Amino acid sequence: MPCRGQHRLKASTSRDRFAFLAPLASREKQLQVLEKKADGDRLLACSAEPCRGSKIRGLRWTSAGDKVVFASANAFNETTIYSWTPHEDGVRALATEPLGF
């Protein structure tokens, strides 16, 4: 389970993986995954820019359980939905909400 001060937002599939936002020293948060395995726990942290910040609004596992999908807002409050593959540390933008002026 995530440590005290870490906010788990969604438990994974039956693979015993948990995705959560971990607080960083800079008052930002970072998207991380904790895998529970027989030989010990493994923590995977997303190093891409969209995975860090205070405006991550939510996250979910895909139905296959291999990617985490999350929404994040930029400084203009424009929301983008991303997909993160933890074992590849790859992040891909899926859709962006227009500003609506």
How do residues 41-64 score in pLDDT, each as one tens digit? Answer: 888 999 888 888 768 878 888 888
More confident residue, 51 or 25: 51
Work out the pLDDT band at 93, boundaries 50, 70, 90.
very high
Mean pLDDT of 90-94: 92
68-73: strand order across its sheet: 56-61, 68-73, 79-85, 90-96
Q: What is the mean pLDDT of the chain?
A: 78
Q: What is the pTM of this model?
A: 0.76
